[in-house]
Amino acid sequence: MRIVGIELVDSLKVEVVVGRNILGLLGKFLANRGYGKAFLVYDRRLPREFIEEVVGGLKKAKLELCTVAVEGGEHLKTVDTVVTLWKKMFDFRLSRGDMVIGFGGGTLTDTVGFAAATYMRGIDWTVIPTTLLAMADAAIGGKTGVNFGAKNLVGAYHHPKLVVEDVKLVKTLSWEDYVSGLAEVVKHALLSSREFYQWLAENIEALRKKDLDAVEEAITKSVEYKLSIVSRDYRETKGLRMLLNLGHTIGHAIERALDYQIRHGHAISIGLIAELWASHKLLGLPVEKIGEVATLLQSLGLPTTPPREASLDRVLDFIRLDKKRRGDKLVLPLLEDIGKPKLVTLDLDEALQLLGWAYKRSLSGAKP
Ligand SMILES: NC(=O)c1ccc[n+]([C@@H]2O[C@H](COP(=O)([O-])OP(=O)(O)OC[C@H]3O[C@@H](n4cnc5c(N)ncnc54)[C@H](O)[C@@H]3O)[C@@H](O)[C@H]2O)c1
């Protein structure tokens, strides 16, 4: 078990625990810190024994407990779900000094985190991510929110006090949900360093087999990288954190164009390759690197070419609604090389032209 404790600004401290068979730890942690009530929202698709491990730990620590079961998935990320959670929090007389717990994948933790951020102007919360994507990415960094017209349009920064990452949970994930998480790991490796990227390339087989040592290492490297960025720019005001959006300008637009009938990581994988083409055009990223990354993503089981149903026109329409837009400018994270990201600000028209070209180029199967 590894503990990554990190001090963010305003004395906010997030503790991230990564290990195996650690779900029961939570009850002890909360009791030691004097929390009275726990409001646990979990994904009902989780295997019974995992739910019992968490609930058992909380009961043993003698916390007054309210449990809410929901079904994870993009359909959950709505304002309606948040209203339902607020009502249940109120009925349970949840107050400051109590704890909200989100136990599920990224869709659940984004939504529950937003309910915690807004109820009583912010109540403490804990994340127990249950998908690889949530462990490597969504649970880290305090971004919470729901979809509203565009992806993640309504949200808040609200850092959890604790993140408990039990890697054994990936064993019960479907293959598609598992590889979806690998896309965000590849994104972190591309942004972070040649070493991380090389480690991934050398561990494809182990990761495909869900070897828990490899999975734990991939998660730890991702978490450490993301925390290193978030701790320096946690409200995305200095530009640094925007780098983490690599692949997401096109990825989010594809998700929206397909009405979320594609997994987040799959859309990001396609978005990564298209945005590497944009990086080639604008920053001279060598074409061979695009082929190399496409091969890595494909070996991990991820798609790299846009689906026919996500037409260029629709994708460009949704890019116009992107949160990274600043008036008539769009801020784009691109790559000069692996481990060398750069933020570029373009006029909206120029950005749409570049991304349109890159999208069409990626349709050719990412062959140099
Ligand atoms: N907040 C952030 O910084 C951030 C970062 C990246 C992505 N996200 C968001 O994360 C979301 C995607 O999250 P996700 O990929 O975890 O999807 P998800 O929450 O929909 O989970 C995927 C599926 O796996 C099931 N599931 C969850 N854990 C399981 C387990 N251990 N065993 C078996 N089944 C399990 C769920 O019921 C669901 O059907 C997107 O909405 C994306 O926008 C947020």
Q: Are residues 145 and 284 in the same domain?
A: no
Instruction: Tell me which residue has tokens 């309606």.
Output: 80
107 CA distance to ligand 1 middle (Å) = 5
Say whether 245 is catalytic.
yes
169 lines ligand 1 (CB under 6 A): yes
Mutate to test the pocket of ligand 1, among 14, 70, 131 (most ligand atoms within 8 A of CB): 131
How far is Cα 210 from Cα 123, in angstroms, rounded to an integer? 35
Given the residues 221, 264, 266, 324, select the one marked as catalytic.
Answer: 264
- Ligand 1 nearest atom to the CA of residue 180, by list position: 15
Three-state DSSP state, 18: strand
Among 151, 172, 193, where does a domain finish?
172
217 lines ligand 1 (CB under 6 A): no
Specify whether 119 is located in the same domain as 234. no
Number of Cα atoms under 13 Å in the Cβ half of residue 312: 13
In a domain, 344, yes or no: yes
360 is catalytic: no
Q: Same domain for 94 and 188?
A: no
Q: Looking at the structure, tell me whether residues 167 and 199 fall in a common domain.
A: no
Q: Is 184 a catalytic residue?
A: yes
User: 264 C-alpha vs ligand 1 centroid, how far in Å?
Assistant: 8
From 88, 79, 159, 95, select the one nearest 125 (Cα to Cα).
159
What are the backbone dihedrals phi and psi of residue 309, each rounded to the nearest 5 degrees, phi first? -65, -25
Distance CA 95, CA 120 (A): 7
- Residue 56 and residue 191 in one domain: no
Radius of gyration for the chain, computed over Cα atoms and rounded to the nearest angstrom: 20
Distance 303 CA to ligand 1 centre (A): 18
Q: How far is CA 235 from CA 8, 133, 230, 241, 339, in A?
A: 11, 21, 8, 8, 23
The residue with tokens 């401290």 is 13
Residue 368 placed within a domain? no
Looking at residue 236, its pLDDT comes to: 85
For residue 70, tell me if it sits in a domain. Answer: yes
Residue ending a domain, among 141, 172, 203, is 172
Is 216 assigned a catalytic role?
no
Catalytic residue among 252, 266, 280, 324: 252
Residue span of the structural domain in which 130 resides: 2-172
Of the residues 48, 121, 308, 367, which is catalytic? 121
What CATH number has the domain bearing residue 256? 1.20.1090.10
CB 76 near ligand 1, within 6 Å: no
CATH value at residue 76: 3.40.50.1970
Q: How far from the centroid of its chain's Cα atoms is residue 331's Cα? A: 20
Q: How close is the Cα of 106 to the center of ligand 1, in Å? A: 4
Per-residue pLDDT of the chain (368 residues; tens, 9 = 90+): 777 766 665 667 888 999 999 998 899 888 888 898 999 999 999 999 999 999 999 999 999 999 999 999 999 999 999 999 999 999 999 999 999 999 999 999 999 999 999 999 999 999 999 999 999 999 999 999 999 988 899 999 999 999 999 999 999 999 999 999 999 999 999 999 999 999 999 999 999 999 999 999 999 999 999 999 998 888 888 889 999 999 999 999 999 999 999 999 999 999 999 999 999 999 999 999 999 999 999 999 999 999 999 999 999 999 988 777 778 899 999 999 999 999 999 999 999 999 999 999 998 765 55
251, 267 Cβ separation under 8 angstroms: yes
Do residues 167 and 193 both lie within one domain? no
42 is a domain residue: yes
Same domain, 261 and 117: no
Judge if 161 and 179 occupy the same domain: no
CB-ligand 1 contact for 137 (6 Å cutoff): yes
If you take atom 14 of ligand 1, which residue's CA is the nearest one?
A: 106
Closest residue by Cα to residue 252 from 237, 262, 241, 240: 262
- Whether residues 33 and 74 fall in one domain: yes
**Element of type H or E holding 357:** helix 348-362
Does residue 275 lie within any of the structural domains? yes
Residue 105 and residue 89 share a domain: yes
- Is 186 inside a domain boundary? yes
Phi-psi region of 264 (alpha: psi -120 to 50; beta: other; left: phi over 0): alpha
Catalytic residue among 158, 159, 241, 289: 241
167 in the same domain as 156: yes
- Of ligand 1's listed atoms, the one at least distance from the Cα of 147 is 41
Which atom of ligand 1 has the smallest separation from the CA of 132? 16
The total number of structural domains in the chain stands at 2
Q: 367 in a domain, yes or no?
A: no
Does 248 qualify as catalytic in the annotation?
yes
DSSP state of 96: B
Listing from the earlier edge strand, what are the strands of the sheet with 340-347? 325-326, 329-337, 340-347
Residue 96 lies in a domain: yes
Q: What pairs with residue 154 in β-bridges? A: 146
With tokens 């396609």, the residue in question is: 270
Say whether both 193 and 150 belong to one domain: no
| Last residue of one domain, picked from the residues 155, 172, 189 | 172
176 is catalytic: no
